Amino acid sequence: MRSAQLNAFFARRWHGEVPVRTVLWRDMFAAGTAVNLLATFTALMAVSQDSPVWAVAAIHWRLGRAATV
């Protein structure tokens, strides 16, 4: 997405021009799930490379929290 398109994307949501159903299911649920799957996959890759447990937990916790912020 270009900068103008990205600004329009967020502006439409900020001004309430997008139905709540779309914001909830596509923007929050689907995107949040995708970020959490990425966090899990990244943490599993770190485990397979014999990374310390604290590092794996930090990766998973931090990336997983990005979906809820």
Distance between CA atoms of 16 and 4, rounded to whole angstroms? Answer: 18
Q: Is 69 a member of any domain?
A: yes
**Is the residue at 1 inside a domain?**
no
How far is it, in rounded angstroms, from Cα 42 to Cα 51? Answer: 11
Q: Residue 15: inside a domain, yes or no?
A: no
Q: Is residue 9 part of a domain?
A: no
In a domain? residue 51: yes
Residue 56 is assigned to a structural domain of this protein: yes
Residue 5 domain flag: no
Q: Using pLDDT thresholds of 50, 70 and 90, give the confidence band for residue 44.
A: very high
Q: What is the pLDDT of residues 8-41, one digit of tens each?
A: 988 998 999 999 998 888 888 888 888 889 989 9
- Which range of residues forms the domain containing residue 63? 21-69
Highest mean pLDDT among 25-34, 42-51, 59-68: 42-51
Cβ(23)–Cβ(13) below 8 Å: yes
Q: How many domains does the chain have?
A: 1
CB count, 10 Å around CB of 47? 14
Whole-Å CA distances, 24 to 13, 32, 39, 40: 11, 10, 21, 22
